[in-house]
Amino acid sequence: MTLAFTPPWWAKNPHVQTILPVMRKIPMPVVKRERLELQDGDFIDLDWLGKPEDGQLILLIVHGLEGSAQSHYARRMLDEAKQQGLCTVVHHHRSCSGEPNRLARSYHSGDTEDVSFTLKTLKQRCPNSPLLGIGYSLGGNVLAKYQGTYREQSLLSRAVVVSAPLALGACAKRLEGGFSTVYQSYLIKQLQQKMRTKLETPELQTAMPVDHSQLANLSTFYLFDDKITAPLHGFDGAEDYYNRASGLSFLQHITVPTLIIHAQDDPFMTDEVIPAQHQLSSAVEYELHQYGGHVGFINGGTPWQPKFYLEHRALRFLLNGASNDSSLRGADNTAK
């Protein structure tokens, strides 16, 4: 049964849905940091809630652009997972764990290789543990692309994709107009600061595609992606990056049960991210709501103590569905 999402009257504005959750302080559960060394000399940091044991369900959280385990949505999911006794791990994109990564390259919306490396590591350690995944925003696009790329070889038994910019070019354009420019400005400043740090690192300077003065002029996602994201990650400009990294075209190839949740009023999106029926495989359950903003989905409470839809909906899909999947039967699931 799908849980109903009905926002209260005071939360039907997309910017209230998007901004208010950021302002609500959620206690951070105690997590344990682990560093995975990558073959290219870089690293990935994981934050663990609970100790993984072979045969136990493991939930992987993939955060959004410039997010981390500290992001409001990650904190809420960690808190809910703690209450249910579910072993959970946050995969940090390169440079997002509080420490700069070592290489000139960083992460991007279509980077499935790092998530794949994390999942392979988990499966090697706990071969009998079903792996579940949830990705938010950029992390949701990464997860959707991973599912559609690896198909039957996906190491995730079930997955949830939330507020994913499945059509990156359209989303970049959307953020150049109206109040959405506020979100763009906030995120671009964070990205620029990380690039400044790399430009000031002697061993990385020659690998950077721009200098300080050029960086200061990259005030939109399109410009930043065209001059930095694309060349650093092997794409021929922003258009090539958007075409190859967008998750929309991968949805039809997904073979593992995957839930996708969008809000039609998401200030980061346009209707171009909404898939047509023929773009969805039979393994994809698509949920489109009139309201919800970007990774918001407040469905009750008060403006001072809002209640949220996402955690209960995602875990209902992941855990209740898990109990019905033949691949998960017999798993030692402590989250009941």
Q: Which residues are catalytic?
A: 137, 266, 294
Name the 3-class secondary structure at 231.
helix
CA distance readout (Å), 120 to 53, 125, 214, 283, 330: 15, 9, 39, 22, 21
What are 91's strand-pairing partners?
Answer: 46, 62
- Would you mind telling me the total number of residues written for the chain in this entry? 336
Quote helix, strand, coil % in the chain, to nearest 5.
40, 15, 40
Q: What angle do CA 126, 256, 235 make, to 5 degrees?
A: 90
211 burial type by CB count under 10 A (0-12 exposed, 13-18 middle, 19+ buried): exposed
What are 306's strand-pairing partners?
Answer: 301
Largest CA distance in the chain: 59
C-alpha torsion 26→263→282→323, nearest 10: 20
C-alpha torsion 37→118→79→285, nearest 10: 160
Residue 330 backbone phi and psi in degrees, to 5: 90, -5
> 3-state SS string over 162-204?
ECCCCCHHHHHHHCCCCCHHHHHHHHHHHHHHHHHHHHCCHHH
